[in-house]
Structure 1
Amino acid sequence: MLTYIVRRLIAAVLILFGASFLVYILTAYSGDPLADLRQSNAPNREQLIQQRIDLLDLDVPPILRYFSWLSGAIRCVVPFALTCDLGNSVTGIEVTQLLGRAMGQTIMLVTAATILAIVIGITLGIVTALRQYSGLDYGVTFMAFLFFSLPVFWVAVLLKEFGAIGFNNFLSDPDISFFTMMTCGLLSAFLFYLSTAGALKHRLMWAAIGFAFAFALTWFLDFTGWFLTPGFGPIVVALLSVGIAYGVTLLTAGLKNRKALYSALAVVGIGMIAYFAVQPLLDRATLLMVVLLGIATVLIGLAVGYFMGGYDKRQNMNAAGLTAFLMGFLILLDRFMQAWPAYFNNNRVNGRPIATIGASTPNLSGDFWVRGLDTYTHLLLPTIALMLISLAGYSRYSRASMLEIMNQDYIRTARAKGLGERTVVMRHAFRNALIPLATLVAFDIGALIGGAIITEQVFAFSGMGQLFVQALQRQDLNPVMGVFLITGIVALVFNLVADLVYSVLDPRVRVKA
């Protein structure tokens, strides 16, 4: 294994070296970085030109300049090397400083979108594969192709118009009309009807339940003024957590494994005690505190699963640990909701919380929760735009992979041996269906780190994509190479990770020296 990794890393370095040389030379000869100064009417134009020549070593041939840039770039990737040096931009700012700001914006923008697209897309693909040729399958297939074909800039503009401007106008007087309640109920009934299998009578019954649930929920939200003072409260947190415990146990161990179910429910009980105990502590929350509390929550869940005993402690730990993580997320979300009135009424927000541009509200004052809500509201629309476009591909790939796996001989053998459907799907089919997706995920992550150029443009995010495009337009070579270096390294590393994941997911695949 170690020999294989070393060989792949050496090959990656050679590929990166060759690609960087080509990109550097082509970019260097693609334009004149002094063009804007040559057209200037400034009285000190010649002095400014000479300063830029000295700053960027433009009097040195591009091939020699590349090796000078390479010597600084090597110090960025070699551990314990000297200070990283990727040169300066045409404005005199260090490229490392530009990359630091741009990477922070891009990672903040694409991380949530990527995770949600992977989780939701794969889930939809697997569910539709198991319900092949059903109404749900046709519905999800239609929506997937619709989102896949839509241009991202058009989706982003629609989200700004209806998701930001329209919703902000609604929040000025959050009154839900009877017509809206009926529409939500009918839409929910249609979704329940598509999602339910069985006889027509059974599907109509679930459609009626879906209609009643959505109508009652929208009426409750309107009656209580929930949009102005949102929150779950301990009762809703407890009910949702119990549902999570049953759902997680069903997927990870099966409800017949009572030890796993009791482990998950015990975590819910401990979590409800913690819900009240940590509220004073959360009033003084910091990011580090929240991360440490999250780690402690998962560890407690794993410990409960381990000490619960039984014939399979691993299943107990999986159910309890995942339940603890999801319940902790619910408590965190509820605490953010409690801070909503303070954020909504902030004089910098002025009652229009859903933002359309930028990554934060300038000069916003507030505690950890208010600033967190500000970041969330700025990321909401671009995250949805990226997620809708990305999850379509994941759902199609995962559906095709799952359909192929479900027709394999070993799946039929597992069913013939009397294994339950949950065991067949989760233990035998699901794991193997993920193998082709490993390459797709690795490729997408490498590409996304390079920046979501169009989305960043529409929502005015100064990320890696914007930095790259603006540098190309100015013939600014060093920032172009900085973005290329980061993107290339991430792509090569994640492709190596994908190969290693293959050997974990499929025992037949082994990396060899």
Structure 2
Amino acid sequence: MLSFILRRLGIGLVVLVVASYLMYLLTAYSGDPLADLRASTAPNKVQLMEARSQLLNLDVPPYLRYFIWLGGVLKVFIGQFTLGVDPTNAQVTTQLGAAMTSTLQLITLSEFIGLFIGVVIGITTALRQYSGYDYSVTFMSFLFFSLPVFWLAAMLKQYVAIGFNDFLGDPQIPIPLIIALAAISAFLWQGIVGGPWRKRLVTAGVSGIATLAILWYLVSSDWFSNPSLGPVVCAGMGVGIAFIVTALSTGIKDRRALYSSLVTVAVGMALYYPLQYIYVGASVWTILVLAVVAVGVGVLVGWLFRGPDRWRSARTAAITAVGLGFIFVIDRAMGSWQVYATSSYVNNRPIATIGSSTPQLDGDFWISMLDTYSHLLLPTLCLVLVSLASYSRYSRSSTLEVMNQDYIRTARAKGLTERTVVMRHAFRNTLIPVTTLLTLDIGALIGGAVITERVFGWSGMGAMFINGLYKVDVNSVMGFFLVTGATVIVFNIIADVLYSALDPRIRVS
């Protein structure tokens, strides 16, 4: 394995050097970096041109100037790494660090959500092939996939941001709209659950009534102006997470795993009020430490339940603990919503349409988190909707192919439950094509979702690349290229290693 990784890494570095040389020449010959100064009427124009030429080594031909740039990159081995400076004499590494942080913040959330929802949709539609649910999801997936990104972004701005901000001014839902939403919910859930018509009618009735009750409560309690979950809702959601995680991880019949998850939820709810004091001076590190503690508590509870396979109970309880902790964080953030939304800088329009933060906004960790995610909402939603079709279609086709394999028929013939067949035997092999797609998407998105960043005013890698090309700033363009190229190489190697982990029949040699 180690020799394979080293060999692939060596080949990747050779490819990166050759590609970067070609990219450097193409960028350098694409325009004149002194064009703005040539058109200037400044009396010291000549001196400014000479200073920039000396600063950027423009007196050296591009095919030789590349090696000056490469020498700065290779100084990483002696701790003096540099990518040069831009025409304003600012370090490219500083700009690149800020752009990477902004882009990673954007794509990490969108990739995680898009991958999770896409795989779930793909597997469920494969298991319900040619059903109404399958056809509906297929239609919606390809609809969003075919929409131009700039148009979709504009629609999200208009109807999700501006429309919802207007709604918050007077958060009232008309009764006809409530009834219509309940009917839509009933139709969707009966299609997802499926089964005989009697089961469909029961599902539709329960989901419709539940939607009516929830919407009525949200409107009557003025929840949209001052949202919160509270201990009762958190406990209910925790129990739901415990049942769902147990059903997917071990099956509901594994009572030890189920009881360990429910006990974990009980321990978490016992700590609900003490945690509120810890949240007062919280930071990112506080949340990370609490997450580690939650995993530890879940593992301990599952381990104490003993049984023939302690690890199954420990794993299930740990996942449940993380899910409940996530609910607690959302609940605490909601407690600061009214303060954030009514601040003078937000002015009751919390869903942002441009930028990555609200200028001059000051507040604690929770206010900053709300501000960050309110700005992330629209661009993340845009990227998720666009990528959802590819993830769901790949996982659907892969699941259909895997479910027809001989070893799946053998597993069913042995009397294994359908959950065990899907989650234990089919799921890992289903992820192989998705892994390939994910590594390619990360390599592409790390370079910046150029259109999305432009529409939402997000200063990331895409904006840095476009500005570099416009100004013929070779060093900035090469900084962008170095990061994206290295990311593609590294994630392709990771994909090859993951193949052998997902499918025991694949061996890396």
The answer, yes or no, to whether TM exceeds 0.5 is yes
* 1:156 is aligned to 2:153: yes
The aligned counterpart of 1:396 is 393
Aligned length: 509
* 1:346 is aligned to 2:343: yes
Residue in structure 1 matching 2:235, options 232, 235, 238: 238
Q: Classify the secondary structure of the residue corresponding to 1:377.
A: helix
Residue in structure 1 matching 2:117, options 117, 120, 143: 120
Structure 1 distance, partners of 2:372, 2:226, is: 19
Structure 1 distance, partners of 2:295, 2:357, is: 30
Structure 2 distance, partners of 1:282, 1:367, is: 10
The aligned counterpart of 2:40 is 40
Structure 2 distance, partners of 1:18, 1:184, is: 57
* 1:409 is aligned to 2:409: no
Q: Classify the secondary structure of the residue corresponding to 1:400.
A: helix
- How is 1:14-413 mapped onto 2 (pairs within 5 angstroms)? 14-76=14-76, 78=77, 81-413=78-410
Identify unmatched segments of 5+ residues in structure 1.
none
The aligned counterpart of 2:468 is 471
Q: How many angstroms does 1:214 deviate by?
A: 1.1
TM-score by length of 1: 0.98
Q: Which amino acid aligns with 2:34?
A: L
1:29-54 CA-to-partner distances (Å, cap 9, x unmatched) read: 11111111111111111111111101
The aligned counterpart of 1:437 is 434
Q: Classify the secondary structure of the residue corresponding to 1:93.
A: coil
Q: Which amino acid aligns with 1:496?
A: I
Q: Which amino acid aligns with 1:248?
A: V
1:285-333 CA-to-partner distances (Å, cap 9, x unmatched) read: 1111111111111122122222221111221122111101100000000
Structure 1 distance, partners of 2:289, 2:65, is: 46
1:449-477 CA-to-partner distances (Å, cap 9, x unmatched) read: 10000000000000000100111011110
TM-score by length of 2: 0.99
Q: How many angstroms does 1:216 deviate by?
A: 1.2
1:2-47 CA-to-partner distances (Å, cap 9, x unmatched) read: 1111111111111111111110111111111111111111111111
- How is 1:3-22 mapped onto 2 (pairs within 5 angstroms)? 3-22=3-22
Structure 2 distance, partners of 1:83, 1:265, is: 54
* 1:492 is aligned to 2:484: no
Structure 2 distance, partners of 1:434, 1:196, is: 24
The aligned counterpart of 2:2 is 2
Q: Which amino acid aligns with 2:132?
A: G
Q: Classify the secondary structure of the residue corresponding to 2:88.
A: coil
Q: Classify the secondary structure of the residue corresponding to 1:283.
A: helix
Structure 1 distance, partners of 2:193, 2:101, is: 43
Structure 1 distance, partners of 2:46, 2:279, is: 59
1:173-218 CA-to-partner distances (Å, cap 9, x unmatched) read: 1111102211211110110121122222221221121211111111
Q: Classify the secondary structure of the residue corresponding to 1:434.
A: helix
Q: Classify the secondary structure of the residue corresponding to 2:223.
A: coil
Structure 2 distance, partners of 1:138, 1:313, is: 41
Q: Classify the secondary structure of the residue corresponding to 1:343.
A: helix
Q: How many angstroms does 1:392 deviate by?
A: 1.0
Structure 1 distance, partners of 2:198, 2:502, is: 41
1:103-131 CA-to-partner distances (Å, cap 9, x unmatched) read: 11101111100100000001100000000
What is the RMSD of the two structures over their aligned residues, measured on CA atoms?
Answer: 0.9
Q: Classify the secondary structure of the residue corresponding to 2:141.
A: helix
* 1:509 is aligned to 2:501: no
Q: Which amino acid aligns with 2:224?
A: F
Structure 2 distance, partners of 1:306, 1:52, is: 66
The percent identity for this pair of structures is 53
The aligned counterpart of 2:450 is 453
Q: Which amino acid aligns with 1:31?
A: G
Q: How many angstroms does 1:222 deviate by?
A: 0.2
Structure 2 distance, partners of 1:274, 1:189, is: 36
1:422-481 CA-to-partner distances (Å, cap 9, x unmatched) read: 100000011111112111111111111100000000000000001001110111100000
Q: Which amino acid aligns with 1:399?
A: R
Runs of 4+ in 1 over 6 A off after TM superposition: none
Q: Classify the secondary structure of the residue corresponding to 2:281.
A: coil
Q: How many angstroms does 1:75 deviate by?
A: 3.0
Structure 2 distance, partners of 1:243, 1:123, is: 18
Q: Which amino acid aligns with 1:398?
A: S
Q: Which amino acid aligns with 2:505?
A: R
